[in-house]
Chain A
């Protein structure tokens, strides 16, 4: 009898990986193309987190129930906690202290 479980597991893993690659690519593109700091932070928070979750879920699906999966879940939990905090700190710092950008964009000149 053909064992379908590894094939289904691999299928799930690759779907997760492709989703993760799309979101991580959009993070990189967004960080370059978006006009100002806040919109870039949006790309850096949401797309990065969705990409990270997808890639980690793919790794967990590929690995199955094991000790390595537990490690991956813990790393994912740390990512879920630390990324919003870092983004919030950057946004708060810019809001309160009016940071001067090193390279000006069109929106900075308009401001």
Chain B
């Protein structure tokens, strides 16, 4: 019941923000749609969320969330610049490689956040995840040597520590 109510409130607020006006028609339509969504999806929506400490350390974690978003946007632009340079080359030359990276993260939320970090920044693309060995299979667009692979893995570890502070 608590989950359904929370889903209803969240979707209802989102509905009003996106609708942009307050009148009885918008209110009634929003109530019907949000009720259907909360009845159908409330169980699945919160299925994978694991809250270890509850909301106790949330203000402290806000700083880390802010840092993650800043790092994310900075890396997206850096990576996009590298890829866009290839697009305008006379003969686009790549040295792509499939690499598997092991993670030390335990929480499912942090793993999912780390996949976001693979897919957008760093010229990498997360292709698969092995649950047993906790390994990501990553497609890297520009890797010339093994030393470069190790260098990029350490770059990932930096983000991994930041994400671990939020969720673990």
Contacts and interface: CB of A to CB of B under 8 A. Distances in A.
B88 A96 contact: no
Contacts of A88: 115, 119, 125-127
B83 A84 contact: no
Contact of B17 (A74, A91, A96): A74
Interface residues of A, number: 35
A91 B125 contact: yes
Contacts of A83: 120
A46 B126 contact: no
Given A70-B17, A71-B17, A74-B14, A84 B88 contact: no
Contacts of B14: 74
Contacts of B88: 26, 29
Contacts of B27: none
Q: DSSP majority for the B interface?
A: helix
B155 interface: no
A45 B20 CA distance: 30
B107 to A, nearest CB: 18
Interface stretch (A5-13, A31-39, A98-106): A31-39
B77 interface: yes
- Interface residues on chain B, size class: 20 to 34
B141 A26 contact: no
B138 to A, nearest CB: 10
Contacts of A46: 76, 79-80, 83, 120-121, 123
A50 B80 contact: yes
Nearest to B77: A50
Best-surrounded residue of B80, B125, B126, B127 (most CB of chain A within 10 A) = B80
Given A26-B87, A39-B94, A53 B125 contact: no
A49 B72 CA distance: 11
B165 interface: no
B87 A47 contact: yes
Interface string B2-42: 00000000000010011010000000000000000000000
A62 interface: no
B123 A42 contact: yes
B125 A47 contact: no
In the A-B complex, list the 3 residue pairs whose CB atoms are closest, starting with the nearest: A26-B84, A50-B80, A84-B119
8 contacts: A26-B88, A34-B92, A41-B125, A42-B141, A45-B119, A53-B73, A67-B17, A88-B119
Given A39-B94, A74-B14, A88-B125, 4 more contacts: A49-B120, A53-B76, A68-B20, A91-B126
